[in-house]
């Protein structure tokens, strides 16, 4: 199959898509140039050229086609963070977050858009470190719970262990 950065995506690979979550590569499919994309748009720059797409089965149901040339741009990545990788990151020195809650939320959102596999674990580490000595807001608690859930899902899939076991190790 095609490469994405230094990563090669093949059938059976476990992936994460920032908007659609976790999934498995089913294969590579070629679409003809006059076939509309899933959003109903045919790109002008691609008109007249057949394009390869990653055919992805989403963990929460459904499927997704991601153009190979756009995979890296949309943040599609192989799963790579097992429990050990996450806990090592969580125990590394923290970076500071803004004191202002709105700026902090914006910083955490921006970090979540980075396709670096350990970016989310580093953000959790930084949030937990900064929260010592103060009460988390409801939105911060919700963000932290969702982030830890996502880390637990990835770790359980990578290590092939039950999700509760990954969640226990990460919490």
The Cα 78–Cα 14 span in angstroms is: 6
* pLDDT in the model for residue 40: 56
Q: What pLDDT is stored for residue 165 in this prediction?
A: 96
**pLDDT given for residue 1 in this prediction:** 47
SS3 percent helix, strand, coil of the chain, rounded to 5, is 45, 20, 35
The DSSP secondary-structure symbol of 61 reads S
Per the CB < 8 A criterion, the answer to whether 74 and 56 are in contact is: no
User: How high is the pLDDT of residue 39?
Assistant: 56
**E strands, 32-161, where?**
51-58, 63-67, 77-78
Helix axes 138-159, 101-112, angle to 10 degrees: 20
Quickly count: other Cβ atoms within 10 Å of residue 124's Cβ.
Answer: 21
What is the structure's pLDDT at 49?
80
Q: How far apart are CA 83 and CA 155, in angstroms?
A: 5
**What integer pLDDT is reported at residue 69 of this predicted model?**
92
Distance CA 169, CA 106 (A): 28
End-to-end Cα distance, the chain: 37
From first to last of its 171 residues, the chain has per-residue pLDDT tens of 444 554 579 999 999 998 899 999 999 999 876 656 555 555 555 556 889 999 999 999 999 999 999 999 898 999 999 999 999 999 999 999 998 989 998 998 888 777 777 899 999 999 999 888 888 889 999 999 999 999 999 999 999 999 999 999 998
pTM to 2 decimals?
0.81
Tokens of residue 21, six digits? 């979550």
């Amino acid at each position: 199959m095609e490469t994405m950065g230094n990563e090669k995506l093949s059938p059976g690979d476990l992936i994460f898509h920032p908007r659609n979550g976790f999934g498995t590569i089913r294969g590579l499919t070629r679409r003809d140039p006059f076939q509309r994309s899933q959003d109903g748009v045919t790109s002008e720059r691609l008109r007249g050229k057949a394009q390869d797409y990653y055919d992805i089965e989403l963990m929460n149901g459904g499927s997704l086609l991601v153009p190979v040339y756009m995979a890296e741009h949309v943040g599609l990545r192989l799963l790579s963070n097992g429990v050990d990788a996450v806990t090592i990151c969580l125990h590394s020195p923290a970076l500071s977050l803004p004191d202002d809650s709105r700026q902090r939320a914006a910083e955490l959102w921006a970090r979540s858009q980075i396709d670096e596999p350990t970016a989310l674990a580093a953000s959790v580490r930084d949030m937990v470190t900064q929260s010592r000595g103060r009460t988390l807001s409801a939105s911060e608690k919700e963000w932290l719970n969702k982030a830890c859930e996502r880390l637990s899902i990835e770790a359980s899939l990578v290590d092939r262990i039950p999700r509760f076991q990954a969640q226990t190790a990460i919490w």
